[in-house]
Structure 1
Amino acid sequence: MLTATRQAHILNSLRTDGEVTVEELAEQFGVSLSTIRRDLNTLSAEGLLRRVRGGGSIEPDQIPFTDVERQHHPEKSRIAEKAAELVAEGDVVIIDIGTTTALLARQLRGRRITVITASLAVIDELRDDDVVELIVLGGAVRKNYNSMIGTLTEQALAQIRATTCFLGTSGIRANGTISDTTGMEVPIKLAMIESSQRTVVLADASKFPGVGVLSVCGPEHISAIVTNDDADASTLEVLREAGVEVMVA
């Protein structure tokens, strides 16, 4: 296999799994450990991955939004359908960024509700809907993840009082902490929570524990979570004990 082809396969593995080890890659491609290390060093120098001890990882922000959309798509679709059942006529809902939340927006088309969002993907789903009232939060465009961020977004959220916030997440830790990978997103998520009567987290089973390294909030700030039936049972029990309603799609 050509070096360039092997390195392309390494990046595809990272986009799927988030992290790979030198040993796994060497076995997969039938090459030496030193060959894989050179590949990882080359890709790291090009800014395509982050070198970690024993392997490499890729930050979620580096994964194209369209690639993330394809991951666990059936599971995310079921979560979106279940979450849409929580929205009543006349509700004001805040929809966070993310691929599952974009699928939720699709489920809400034609509903007499108000949707507030900083997600370009959600905007794409609803901007031509004649029934949904769509309010777009301003900010700097984060092109790779189809969202808007910054103090303008936070300031706008401070003036809003919503019925429900539908929150995306990069991961849910064993103690029930909701996490994210991007420091710029954390204050926006907190502002969404503060502006809403209840907060519902949308998280497929792969988000247990996921890849988030930054704490957003503890389970005491969450009203409910919509997830899959194969999500980590012990974490779900921790959430239930904290008073979070666990809904399985």
Structure 2
Amino acid sequence: MLPAERRKRILDEVRQTGGLDVVSLSEAYGVSKSTIRRDLNLLDSQGMLQRVRGGTIDADPRPYAQVVTKAADEKSKIGHEAATLVEDGDIVLIDIGTTTAAVAQALYGRHVTVLTASLAVIDILRDSPGTELIVLGGVVRNSYLSMVGSLTSHALSQLRADIAFLGTSGVRDDLVVMDSTGTEVPIKHSILKNSTSAYLVASADKFPGSGILQICSVSEFDGVITTATGPIIDSISSSGVQVIHP
């Protein structure tokens, strides 16, 4: 069994039972306790569950307030670089996430139309002079200041954006863009499908980052806006996808 599949099954089990210990998981999957600990640490770092001494407990994704402060200066630089790609009058689709929220912050005061399911983006732009804000709707996920579900995807299917900015939990060595939350994946697919151009915005820690759910190949994007350097970034450039550094 591949590690990603094992982690997905562990997460499903934890959600069903409310908690499992390292020993039982090690026996169930035929791997060492150290391997299980690494799996749990990764899932915990993604906000998919919380670890407690001797076991695990299920939890909502890590609160937005905890994530938004991580690499804040880096995200701000990425956001400002992304905003330079937006022209006045554009219809801009902004994904859920903390780096995408930095894009919204950089667009404050711009004469654009913004479509979003991010409560954080709404909060940033709700009094932005000259900005038209369209809320996509959906089921509110308080912990991550977002709206998700079929209503969000349906709303996206009725709209068309000039440019979109999407986030990720990680980009693998094989250039597959990943996520950690199943309810967000269909929304990202809808954003890509209904945008004339789309850019991935990601801080350096997202290469390779984390994630157990595949979104798409990085080739689906027109460009990647990041402060990161290294082998994965070199591979992205070699694949023909534009890499933009702030």
3-state SS, counterpart of residue 134 of structure 1: strand
Query: Following the alignment from structure 2 to structure 1, what is the Cα–Cα distance between the partners of residues 132 and 230?
Result: 38
Q: Which runs of 4+ in 1 moved over 4 A?
A: 43-46
For residues 148-167 of structure 1, the C-alpha deviation after alignment (integer angstroms, 9 at most, x for no partner) is 00111101111111111100
Amino acid at match of 2:103: L
Structure 2 residue 221 is matched with structure 1 residue 238: no
In the other structure, the counterpart of 1:207 is 206
Structure-to-structure mapping, 1:7-156, within 5 angstroms: 53-54=36-37, 56-57=40-41, 58=44, 59-60=46-47, 61-156=60-155
Structure-to-structure mapping, 1:146-185, within 5 angstroms: 146-185=145-184
Q: Please say which structure displays the higher CA radius of gyration.
A: 1
Kept after mapping to 2: 8 A contact 1:179/1:215? yes
Q: How much identity, in percent, do the aligned residues show?
A: 44
Please give the root-mean-square deviation of Cα atoms over the aligned residues, in Å: 2.0
The number of equivalent residue pairs is 202
1:106 to partner: Cα distance: 1.1
3-state SS, counterpart of residue 94 of structure 1: strand
Amino acid at match of 2:217: G
Kept after mapping to 2: 8 A contact 1:149/1:188? yes
For normalisation by structure 2, the TM-score amounts to 0.78
In the other structure, the counterpart of 1:224 is 223
3-state SS, counterpart of residue 130 of structure 1: coil
Query: Following the alignment from structure 2 to structure 1, what is the Cα–Cα distance between the partners of residues 20 and 100?
Result: 34
Query: Following the alignment from structure 1 to structure 2, what is the Cα–Cα distance between the partners of residues 92 and 183?
Result: 26
3-state SS, counterpart of residue 53 of structure 1: helix
Query: Following the alignment from structure 1 to structure 2, what is the Cα–Cα distance between the partners of residues 148 and 63?
Result: 15
Query: Following the alignment from structure 1 to structure 2, what is the Cα–Cα distance between the partners of residues 69 and 220?
Result: 27
Query: Following the alignment from structure 1 to structure 2, what is the Cα–Cα distance between the partners of residues 172 and 81?
Result: 22
Kept after mapping to 2: 8 A contact 1:171/1:180? yes
1:129 to partner: Cα distance: 1.7
Gaps of 5+ in 2: 1-17, 26-32, 48-59
Query: Following the alignment from structure 2 to structure 1, what is the Cα–Cα distance between the partners of residues 240 and 160?
Result: 23
Query: Following the alignment from structure 1 to structure 2, what is the Cα–Cα distance between the partners of residues 110 and 54?
Result: 47
For residues 112-170 of structure 1, the C-alpha deviation after alignment (integer angstroms, 9 at most, x for no partner) is 11000000000000111231000000100011110000111101111111111100111
3-state SS, counterpart of residue 110 of structure 2: coil
Kept after mapping to 1: 8 A contact 2:116/2:135? yes
1:110 to partner: Cα distance: 1.1
1:54 to partner: Cα distance: 3.2
3-state SS, counterpart of residue 62 of structure 1: coil
